Amino acid sequence: MAVILGSGAHRYRVLENWAKLPEGWEFKDVAAVACDSKDRVYVFNRGAHPMMVFDRDGNFLRSWGEGSFPRAHGLHIDANDLLYCTDDGGHVVRKCTTEGKVLLELGVAGKPAPFMSGEPFHRCTHTALSPKGEIYVSDGYGNAKVHKYSPDGKRLLSWGEPGTDAGQFNIVHNIVTDAEGWVYVADRENHRVQVFDGNGKYETQWVNMHRPCGLYCCRGPKPEFLIGELGPGMTVNRHHPNIGPRLSFVDAKGQLIARLGGEDGPGLEAGKFIAPHGLAVDTRGDIYVGEVSYVEYPRMFPESPIPWRMRSLQKLEKVN
């Protein structure tokens, strides 16, 4: 019997083993996922084949990026089906076609800026676009900044610094924009999402979440935001109920609408999560969840060996 998550207008059927991988292939950690206008699914992962492409039924189409991405981290796709691939191990952002041709590169591959210098990039994490096509980059693990670039790659401004106050960051992990140009930043280790205008002016913050990791804007007349919460990171609370890992829907004011999973801690069973790190939603409302399970499983279950071919990607099919 299929597992159903959520309630009301936010009910989803868990589709196990959705992706049909070529024989002998595996994802390792799926850091990010994106869907194009034809509902093809791009899976940015840390295995031997960094970008794998599937149709919406999970049939494998192609791969690319072999040898070019030391550590996949962030991915989003624009209205023209161009991909923005953020590599935190290579300290670089690449704008690519759906076939993998590089059109623009931000940063210098393999050469990080000094730690916490504020200069781009030191383990950058994700990207988003303004309504004018300007590029925002969250940066990241070794910085506490958001950088804004012109569409052709000229840096326009940067904002943020380490800390816990408004406009400060403790791991700038993800970033999205809405149709009006507001900028939403997953400030992971401060357990919040901060909201800014397009020039970095602080507006507000959303709280009541546990280590927001994945972030996705479901645009429309009443936009909703999907947040992947990484959940507990300490030994003492790693199996506490109701703190994740889980997915949460919030409205444009950050008010909770629905939660999927997380009631009784992490797990590999259908309907549970280990580490929801990257999120995407297709044209039918189905959710794709990329998980960095190989990294997080030993922290969650230190007494157990890592399972062979551990799950790193889930599809949740919307139930109408």
Contact 59, 20 (CB under 8 A): yes
| Segment 239-266, tens digit of pLDDT | 899 999 999 999 999 999 999 999 999 9
pLDDT digits (tens, 9 = 90+) for 216-227: 999 888 899 999
The pLDDT, as a whole number, for residue 44 is: 98
| pLDDT reported for residue 79 | 95
Domains of the chain (ranges, CATH numbers): 4-318 (2.120.10.30)
Alpha-carbon torsion (127, 95, 313, 144), positive or negative: negative
Contact 168, 192 (CB under 8 A): no
**What is this structure's pTM?**
0.97
Question: Residue 253: its pLDDT value, please?
Answer: 95
Query: Exposed, middle or buried: residue 130 (CB in 10 Å: 0-12, 13-18, 19+)?
Result: middle
Is the per-residue pLDDT at 203 higher than 90? yes
Residue 130 phi/psi, 5-degree rounding, is -80, 170
Q: Is the pLDDT of residue 21 over 90?
A: yes
Q: Which residues make Cβ contacts (< 8 Å) with residue 255, sequence separation at least 6? A: none
pLDDT digits (tens, 9 = 90+) for 41-67: 999 999 999 999 999 999 999 999 999
- Give me the numbers of helices (H) and strands (E) for the chain, helices first please: 1, 25
Percentage of residues in the chain having pLDDT higher than 70: 100
SS3 assignment for 228-243: EECCCCCHHHCCCCCC
DSSP at 188: G
For residue 320, what pLDDT is reported? Answer: 85
Using DSSP's 3-state secondary structure scheme, residue 283 falls into coil
What confidence score (pLDDT) does residue 16 get? 87
pLDDT at 175 > cutoff 80:
yes
